[in-house]
């Protein structure tokens, strides 16, 4: 039992804040200031059962609502979110080192996601009448129907938009949701309860439970194992995603996994190098690189590499450092860079090692490395920090430069996003078909998530799609009716 006098963040069940059935609490500590802004209820076994039971009962009526009833609630939620952006900032900045500009940006993206899901309900759920070989003896109807209670597991980085897509897509399809928050940003995630209540979402359609880091594996397993949970979505690390996928498979639950990335930028020999450099610096360093789509690798052939390195140096900003969210992340990232430098990697931009002040406040210098080789861990591991590597691509016999760049891009075990820079769109589109990613961006940085388009990856990045028509359909199943005529 943990006793504390700090403000308390409670579970959200049946459209109201609920204390736990026991006294288990944990205290949030800001990773950079070390402040302790609030304590959080750590859900008990009984709390979890209450949340699932509530969602299960609410599903019986919510699945019968019309598309326009759901649409109106979602559109109102988006309006309320915009009005409450200061509340979002207050919550998020108390838990992580984020500024007002970044939070306003996220609120804009998140509101758009909610509105887009609202407008896509009809095309997403429209069924089919397939042809039949039974002449005029039968008619077949294929209907998309909701699954039931969906479990949402979302991370702390980009906390609003990465959580809302796991909430709004199942709600739009007629499901109810149990959302297990990140132990790093529970107050930020908890704000969805009051927003959707104000928007008119009925009791039980969205229940929110919290858990401490130590209890998270057991609570997650308990949630997935419950027969009333009919779908699981998870955004986070590949290592944890493997465990989520294993549990979901064992319990025969469909799951959607959006996991790690090692996103490459493919620089062809006719690329605008100033554009490449300016955009890759932003996409590598924004939010301290703690974005799954962050630029981690910049790949250039021998005809371009030297000019590209010089362009980085010519456009180098003043040295700066960015805050990372966890002590373990700070140690891991420092270890990756130290190992690379000890084995021959070189700094192109930035300073190393972190200063004493950086270490105390868990900041990592924004850097660009080159002369990184496959023997170095940073070649393959996702850094999730403000770091990118510039790689000189070597061609194999019988291979042209473009083919070699694509080969390097595909050597990663991840397959989330990539960028290609070139002035020749035909050349780019031919190469794009060979790049193993879920999202390919042309002449723009790797980070981008358009709410009308499906989003997800392949290989160790996971499977399934959020957003767009496909994102809502992920949370449905097809029922076929056979009607004798």
Whether residue 330 lies inside any domain: the answer is: yes
Residue 134's pLDDT is 85
If asked whether residues 177 and 322 sit together in one domain, one would say no
Instruction: Give 308-315's long-range contacts (Cβ < 8 A, gap of 24+).
Output: 308/267, 308/273, 308/276, 308/277, 308/390, 309/348, 309/370, 309/390, 311/273, 311/274, 311/276, 311/277, 312/277, 312/281, 312/348, 312/349, 312/368, 312/390, 313/348, 313/349, 315/274, 315/277, 315/278, 315/281
E-strand ranges in 320-416 read 321-323, 346-349, 363-365, 367-370, 387-393, 414-415
If asked whether residues 328 and 218 sit together in one domain, one would say no
Whether residue 165 lies inside any domain: the answer is: yes
Overall domain count for the chain: 2
CATH number of the structural domain spanning residue 285:
3.40.309.10
Whether residue 115 lies inside any domain: the answer is: yes
If asked whether residues 185 and 334 sit together in one domain, one would say no
How many CB atoms sit inside 10 A of residue 52's CB? 23
Whether residue 190 lies inside any domain: the answer is: yes
pTM of the model: 0.95
What is the 8-class DSSP label of residue 20?
A: -
If asked whether residues 256 and 279 sit together in one domain, one would say no
If asked whether residues 282 and 241 sit together in one domain, one would say no
Residue 5's pLDDT is 66
φ and ψ at 297, to 5 degrees? Answer: -135, 135
Whether residue 187 lies inside any domain: the answer is: yes
If asked whether residues 283 and 380 sit together in one domain, one would say yes
If asked whether residues 427 and 278 sit together in one domain, one would say yes
Whether residue 218 lies inside any domain: the answer is: yes
Instruction: Judge contact between 12 and 33, C-beta under 8 A.
Output: no
Whether residue 2 lies inside any domain: the answer is: no
Q: Which residues are catalytic?
A: 258, 292
If asked whether residues 337 and 275 sit together in one domain, one would say yes
Q: Using CB atoms within 10 A of its CB, is residue 123 exposed (0-12), middle (13-18) or buried (19+)?
A: exposed
Domain of 201 in residue numbering reads as 8-260+463-481
If asked whether residues 54 and 84 sit together in one domain, one would say yes
The tens place of each residue's pLDDT in the chain, 485 residues long, gives 445 568 999 999 999 999 988 888 999 999 988 899 999 999 999 999 999 999 999 999 999 999 999 999 999 999 999 999 999 999 999 999 999 999 999 999 999 999 999 999 999 999 999 998 887 889 999 999 999 999 999 999 999 999 999 999 999 999 999 999 999 999 999 999 999 999 999 999 999 999 999 999 999 999 999 999 999 999 999 999 999 999 999 999 999 999 999 999 999 999 999 999 999 999 999 999 999 999 999 999 999 999 999 999 999 999 999 999 888 899 999 999 999 999 999 999 999 999 999 999 999 999 999 999 999 999 999 999 999 999 999 999 999 999 999 999 999 999 999 999 999 999 999 999 999 999 999 999 999 989 999 999 999 999 999 999 999 999 999 999 999 99
If asked whether residues 241 and 304 sit together in one domain, one would say no
Instruction: Give 326-331's long-range contacts (Cβ < 8 A, gap of 24+).
Output: 326/31, 326/184, 326/362, 327/31, 327/362, 329/384, 329/385, 330/359, 330/362, 330/364
Residue 136's pLDDT is 83
CATH number of the structural domain spanning residue 31:
3.40.605.10
Residue 21's pLDDT is 86
Whether residue 1 lies inside any domain: the answer is: no
If asked whether residues 26 and 158 sit together in one domain, one would say yes
Alpha helices in 139-215 (DSSP H): 159-172, 186-199
If asked whether residues 159 and 207 sit together in one domain, one would say yes
């Amino acid at each position: 039992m943990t006793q504390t006098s700090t403000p308390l963040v409670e579970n959200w069940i049946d459209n109201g804040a609920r204390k736990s059935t026991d006294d288990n609490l944990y205290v949030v500590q800001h990773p950079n200031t070390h402040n302790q802004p609030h304590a959080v209820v750590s859900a008990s076994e009984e709390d979890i059962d209450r949340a699932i039971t509530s969602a299960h009962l609410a599903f019986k009526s919510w699945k019968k609502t019309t598309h326009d009833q759901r649409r109106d609630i979602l559109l109102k939620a988006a309006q309320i979110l915009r009005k409450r952006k200061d509340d979002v900032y207050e919550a998020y900045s108390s838990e992580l080192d984020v500024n007002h500009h970044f939070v306003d940006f996220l609120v804009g993206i998140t509101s758009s996601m909610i509105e887009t899901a609202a407008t896509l309900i009809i095309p997403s759920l429209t069924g089919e009448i397939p042809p039949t070989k039974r002449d005029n003896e039968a008619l077949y109807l294929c209907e998309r129907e909701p699954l039931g209670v969906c479990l949402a597991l979302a991370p702390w980085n980009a906390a609003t938009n990465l959580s809302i897509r796991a909430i709004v897509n199942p709600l739009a399809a007629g499901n109810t949701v149990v959302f297990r928050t990140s132990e790093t940003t529970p107050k930020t995630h908890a704000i969805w309860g009051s927003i959707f209540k104000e928007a008119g979402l009925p009791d039980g359609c969205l229940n929110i439970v919290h858990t401490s880091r130590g209890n998270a594996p057991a609570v997650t397993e308990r949630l997935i194992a419950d027969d009333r949970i009919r779908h699981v979505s998870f955004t986070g690390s590949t290592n944890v995603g493997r465990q989520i996928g294993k549990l979901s498979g064992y319990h025969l639950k469909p799951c959607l996994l959006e996991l790690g990335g090692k996103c490459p930028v493919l620089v062809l020999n006719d690329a605008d190098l100033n554009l490449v450099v300016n955009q890759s610096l932003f996409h590598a360093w924004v939010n301290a690189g703690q974005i799954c789509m962050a630029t981690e690798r910049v790949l250039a052939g021998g005809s371009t590499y030297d000019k590209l390195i010089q362009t980085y140096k010519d456009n180098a900003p003043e040295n700066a450092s960015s805050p990372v969210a966890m002590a373990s992340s700070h140690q891991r990232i420092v270890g990756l860079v130290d190992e690379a430098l000890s084995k021959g990697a070189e700094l192109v931009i930035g300073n190393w090692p972190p200063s004493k002040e950086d270490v105390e406040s868990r900041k990592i210098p924004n850097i660009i490395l080159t002369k990184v080789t496959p023997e170095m861990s940073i070649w393959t591991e996702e850094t999730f920090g403000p770091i990118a590597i510039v790689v000189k691509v070597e061609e194999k016999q019988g291979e042209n430069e473009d083919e070699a760049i694509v080969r390097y891009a595909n050597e990663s075990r991840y397959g989330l996003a990539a960028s290609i820079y070139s002035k020749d769109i035909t050349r780019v589109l031919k190469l794009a078909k060979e790049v193993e990613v879920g999202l390919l961006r042309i002449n723009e940085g790797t980070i981008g998530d358009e709410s009308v388009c499906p989003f997800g990856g392949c290989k160790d990045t996971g499977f399934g799609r959020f957003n767009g028509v496909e994102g809502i359909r992920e949370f449905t199943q097809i029922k076929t009716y056979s009607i004798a005529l």
